[in-house]
Chains A and B, each alone.
Chain A
Amino acid sequence: MTEHHDAAEEHEHVHTHDDSPEAVAKEVRKYLVVFFALACLTGITVAIAYQHFEPPVAIAAALIVASIKAFLVAGYFMHLLSERKLIYAVLAITVFFFAMLIWGPWNHHYDYFGR
């Protein structure tokens, strides 16, 4: 038996993913679509930066586009759209503390203008 067949045989027993050639081919097509979306969004990010918007508008627009890109990478490349509940729980805690890190100085921003 070849190395190729050995691997395929073992995968049948231990993987939680559907490893059939059709399923993998479908996934690969999805990855390529996500790639083109990410490339286009990168172009949009750069285009926005050259529009000379007011800083609040420019920051909001850049962060919205970056968040969409992050969703595509995390959701499709990192498979977070179909992950186990335990990972969602770990990430929920992480997101909470990350939000606190960002919220703190952001709040300071308002203090600065309120002086």
Chain B
Amino acid sequence: MHIEIPYNVRPRPDTGLYNAKLGIWLFLASEVMLFGALFSSLILLRSGVPHWPHGRDEGLNIPLATVNTLVLIISSVTVVLAWANLRLGDLKKARLFLGATLLCALGFMVIKTIEYTDKFHHHHFPSTNNFYAIYFTLTGLHGLHVLGGMIVFAYFIGPGSKMWATEPARFTNRIEVCGLYWHFVDLVWIFLFPVLYLL
């Protein structure tokens, strides 16, 4: 039996939104609270001691983190360009931009791995002190979100793109929705970068 999911293309008359879009915003709201709780913990830990170590003094690599910031910003642009090309009906270009987004995400993870490896090499673990505990928790959780985005993008570049042939508008909406998620991942990093590395 085939059951049609309602309003995944056309907006619902009462909300003015297609369901997936409202769904992703509700999900992102819950994500704000998840990261918010950890930022709250950071403020509590930081304000509870007379001296909080500077990321630079703890050996965090600012140039690498700056590159990672730029990589995520570029990926935000490429994902929105993929969506723009789908609106123009150009799947080929859209897939190229999605591929670029995936590459950026991979680049981000490679740089993060280099940073983590360096920390472990210097015997810096989450158990070392409160600074590293919150550093690894926040960046680790963020990294998991990047990984999740990579899986979704890989799916839409590959098997997921078959939907374009039968339901192009629904596919376009799917890319818009995962783009919103990806911009949120970028948004979190925009705050993590100065808070952990620069202050």
Chain A interface (Cβ within 8 Å of chain B)?
Answer: 3-8, 10-11, 13-17, 19, 21, 24, 27-28, 31-32, 34-35, 38-39, 42, 45-46, 48-49, 55, 58-59, 62-63, 65-66, 69-70, 73-74, 77-78, 84-87, 90-91, 93-94, 97-98, 101-102, 104-106, 108-109, 112
Per the bound structure, the CA–CA distance linking A31 and B81 in Å amounts to 8
Determine if B25 and A91 form an interchain contact, defined as CB atoms under 8 angstroms apart.
yes
Known: A15-B87, A49-B198. A108 touches B48 (CB 8 A): yes
CB distance from A77 to the nearest CB of B (A): 5
Known: A11-B87, A62-B199, A105-B40. A73 touches B66 (CB 8 A): no
Chain B interface (Cβ within 8 Å of chain A)?
Answer: 9-11, 15-17, 22, 25-26, 29, 32-33, 36-37, 39-41, 43-44, 47-48, 56, 62, 66, 69-70, 73-74, 76-77, 80-81, 84, 86-91, 164-165, 168-169, 172, 179-180, 183-184, 186-187, 190-191, 193-195, 197-199
- Residue ID in chain A nearest B17 by CB atoms: A84
Chain B residues with Cβ below 8 Å from A5 are 89
Per the bound structure, the CA–CA distance linking A69 and B2 in Å amounts to 45
CB distance from B39 to the nearest CB of A (A): 7
Given A7-B89, A31-B77, 9 extra CB contacts under 8 A: A3-B89, A11-B89, A14-B9, A39-B70, A42-B73, A45-B194, A49-B56, A58-B199, A93-B29
Determine if A42 and B70 form an interchain contact, defined as CB atoms under 8 angstroms apart.
yes
Chain B residues with Cβ below 8 Å from A106 are 43, 47
Known: A42-B73, A87-B22, A87-B25. A55 touches B199 (CB 8 A): yes
Chain B residues with Cβ below 8 Å from A28 are 81, 84
- Residue ID in chain A nearest B167 by CB atoms: A10
Determine if B169 and A87 form an interchain contact, defined as CB atoms under 8 angstroms apart.
no
Name the one of B10, B47, B74, B191 contacting A109, with C-beta atoms under 8 angstroms. B47
- Residue ID in chain A nearest B171 by CB atoms: A7
- Residue ID in chain B nearest A76 by CB atoms: B80
Known: A31-B80, A97-B33. A14 touches B25 (CB 8 A): no
Determine if A91 and B87 form an interchain contact, defined as CB atoms under 8 angstroms apart.
no
Per the bound structure, the CA–CA distance linking A11 and B147 in Å amounts to 31
Name the one of A59, A74, A86, A102 contacting B40, with C-beta atoms under 8 angstroms. A102
CB distance from B104 to the nearest CB of A (A): 12
Determine if A98 and B47 form an interchain contact, defined as CB atoms under 8 angstroms apart.
no
Determine if B191 and A98 form an interchain contact, defined as CB atoms under 8 angstroms apart.
no
CB distance from A45 to the nearest CB of B (A): 5
**10 A-B pairs whose Cβ atoms sit less than 8 Å apart in the complex:** A3-B164, A7-B172, A11-B172, A24-B88, A58-B198, A66-B193, A94-B32, A98-B32, A105-B41, A112-B47
